Amino acid sequence: MDHYSKARREGLRIYQAAIQNNTDPYLPVLEERVPNLSALSRFSLGIMTIPLDRVVGSVSRGRSYAFTEGFMPILEGGSEFAAKWDHLCESVEAEGVNQPITVLEYMGYYYVIEGNKRTSVMKYLDSRDIEADVTRVYPPQSDDPEVVSYYEYCDFCKQTGLYAIFFSRPGSYEKLLSLPGIRAGEKWTEDEILSLRKLYHYFAESYLTLTRGKTVMPCGDAFLTYLIAFGYLDVKDDDLGKTAERVRLMAKEFEEREGRVTLVMEKVEPPVPLISALFHPSKVKAAFLFNRSIQDSAWNYWHNLGRLEAEEKLGDKLETTTCIVPSRADFTEEIDKLIADGYTAIFATSPVMLNSAVEPALKHPEVRFMCCAQLSNYTNIRTYYIRFYEAKFLLGLAAGILSDNGKIGYIADFPIYGAPAAANAFALGARMVNPNAKIYMNWFSASWFDPDLPFEDPEIKVICNRDITAPNRDARDYGLYVREGDDILHMATLVPRWGLFYRMMTERLLNGTLKPADSKDSVANYWWGLGSNILDVAFSSRFDPYAARIVHHFREQLREGSFSPFEGELRDQAGTLRCDADRRLTPAEILCMDYLADNIIGTIPEIDDLIETARPLVKLQGLHGELTPQLSAFSWNRK
């Protein structure tokens, strides 16, 4: 009875741990967890193969006392139960399971009606799945995220017949279906179903083997993370060996930790370790990657100015090069060339490059990868961004002062995370000095946008447009301005100072304080604002200098951290209270903001309403896009 003795030892270990943690040491019982179980509607799914890791308990108490969590046995070794268990184990080893178990499926997990010992033996033998006669039990419909996610799972199963892919978070199936190449049309073809089934099978086999005994994401959630990181089209033809190799690369990314992402809110000069001071490099070779021409993109133009400034300040300590990498397909090859040429720092200057950088960063932990993006929790990629909402609040103050009728136009660029916070801060700033201020919102990236007539109402004369213009674009309508007929009177504009960031990151590389990420460390995201001098607002001489004193007053308070645009009562367009009168929104709540303030007139466009060039970025970092943030993922560092 060596098998039973070994299984029982594991069961007793689990039992003792549960007792010490003051939790139920026995097998979970569905009838006790769902008291109204018999009243819920049911549907027979028939005999099918189910994943053993989601067989979690028994329907009734019955034999549940014979097992601890995980179906490991705990009854005495000389019992009749032990003899039957051992005999069954020998039979399964020789012939396999010759009869399906009977289960209820509830909320994506399986509870055994008949076949507890077979389940126990198969789990002991480390099997991945088991044949079962399955009856689905439907929970009552509700707004509970867990229930919403479950009904999305049911719809997905109905479309595809794929029951193994189970996500725990609402919206995950929508994300899966939005991945390029995941499906060709509204109706799934047999080839599409087989391709996804095979890929998930390879992933699950590799993932469950790699992560056994570790605290990690559920397998389905990890699978979606894997597809987002590598891209479905790039992995769908991988064999088991290649899949296992990629899963090993991503091992750190699958760890479940609260507060995994640390936002570094202000610049700080870390102490230089003595060993680093003795052996620091004398020069850094840094590559700056752009997704579009510098001349055609205002965003890239400003980042390139930052590169040139850092190079000028640091002299022969910094050598840089620039590369245009328009697509994900070109990214890995370009990175390999740069690393072969001795470049040890990679700055990907566009958020759309974030996922493209994942595989190269995992393969080259000795290289520092940084991407100008938000929402990342990839261990080997540091991200950096600016708290633009602080400057937008100041521009909102100025707009409220300038507007006589309270009608103010606001042109946003892309509906990604960060855009609602910027628009809301602007709206709150305008209302602070002009209680009647209404912000009329339009989107530069929307298919309906007309740059010659962004607002039909002729009374909208004060307009906050996009922050900067590209060298090849001769438009004058940028920043905050007043339109008088055909004349544009510039009043203020936002000024990013990327050179300061690039210089400081290079200095950290030089003195050895910017170390590779470690699995024990949080993921560092730099999110600097006015207090770091990486951001400012410049005013035209046309703006009333006396009125400018109000703006300058709040600028200093923002720099000191003694004031936030998001403190006090805040309601969204539906009237929902988002912040109480005596509270300040946390950085996580600001970063994850996906609504508009109640004095904004306008909507957030859907992805189908955008111009084609805007869609890749919005698919990645857009509201409800691939990288939808979880508040629990963030911890905060204000230093």
For the chain, list the domains and their CATH numbers: 1-140 (3.90.1530.10), 148-256 (no CATH), 261-386+499-530 (3.40.50.2300), 388-496+539-637 (3.40.50.2300)
pLDDT for 62-73, tens place per residue?
Answer: 878 899 989 999
Evaluate if residue 48 carries a pLDDT over 60: yes
pLDDT digits (tens, 9 = 90+) for 289-321: 999 888 888 899 999 999 999 999 999 999 999
| Non-local CB neighbours of 249 within 8 Å, separated by 6+ positions | 359, 362, 363
CA distances from residue 587 to 430, 624, 629 in whole angstroms, order as listed = 22, 19, 12
Tell me phi and psi for residue 191, to 5 degrees. -65, -40
The 8-class DSSP code of residue 485 comes to T
**What token pair was written down for 512?**
């050895």
Type and span of the H or E element at 479 = none
Q: Is 538 helix (H, G, I), strand (E, B) or coil?
A: strand
pLDDT at position 564 over 90: yes
The tens digit of pLDDT for each residue in 165-181 reads: 999 888 899 889 888 88
Indicate whether 1 pLDDT > 60.
no
Q: Could you tell me the pLDDT band of residue 106, with boundaries at 50, 70 and 90? A: very high
CA distance readout (Å), 100 to 52, 59, 129, 405, 444? 13, 16, 11, 74, 58
pLDDT given for residue 520 in this prediction: 47
Tens digit of each residue's pLDDT (9 = 90 or more) over 388-440: 999 999 999 999 999 999 999 999 999 999 999 999 999 999 999 999 999 99
What is the rounded average pLDDT of the residues 356-382? 88
Q: Angle, to 10 degrees, between the axis of helix 298-314 and the axis of helix 498-511?
A: 40
The string of pLDDT tens digits covering residues 231-288 is: 899 999 999 999 999 999 998 888 876 656 777 887 766 666 545 555 567 899 999 9
Closest alpha carbon to 125 in 58, 197, 71: 71
How much is the average pLDDT of 23-44? 94
pLDDT per position as a tens digit, 431-481: 999 999 999 999 999 999 998 899 999 999 999 998 877 666 666 788 999
Residue scoring higher pLDDT (15 or 274) = 15
Strands 570-571 and 101-106: unpaired
Residue 270: predicted pLDDT: 62
Asked whether residue 498 carries a pLDDT value surpassing 60, the answer given is yes
What is the pLDDT at residue 639? 35
375's torsion region: left (phi>0), alpha (psi -120 to 50) or beta?
A: left
Query: What confidence score (pLDDT) does residue 449 get?
Result: 95
Cβ-based neighbours of 5, under 8 Å, separated by 6 or more: 77
Write down the pLDDT at residue 519.
Answer: 44
Q: What is the mean pLDDT of the chain?
A: 90
Q: What is the mean pLDDT of residues 189-200?
A: 93
User: Mean pLDDT throughout 102-131?
Assistant: 95
Distance CA 221, CA 550 (A): 48
The whole-number pLDDT of residue 634 equals 66
pLDDT at 638: 45
Asked if pLDDT for residue 376 goes beyond 60, the answer is yes
For the residues 601-614, what does the mean pLDDT come to?
Answer: 93
| 534 CB-near residues (< 8 Å, 6+ apart) | 267, 386, 496, 497, 498, 500, 501, 528
* Per-residue H/E/C for 401-463: HHCCCCEEEEEECCCECCHHHHHHHHHHHHHHHCCCCEEEEEECCECCCCCCCCCCCCCCCEE
pLDDT > 50? residue 94: yes
Ranked by mean pLDDT, which of 264-278, 495-509, 514-528, 613-627 comes out on top?
A: 495-509
Count other C-beta atoms under 10 Å from residue 67's C-beta.
Answer: 27
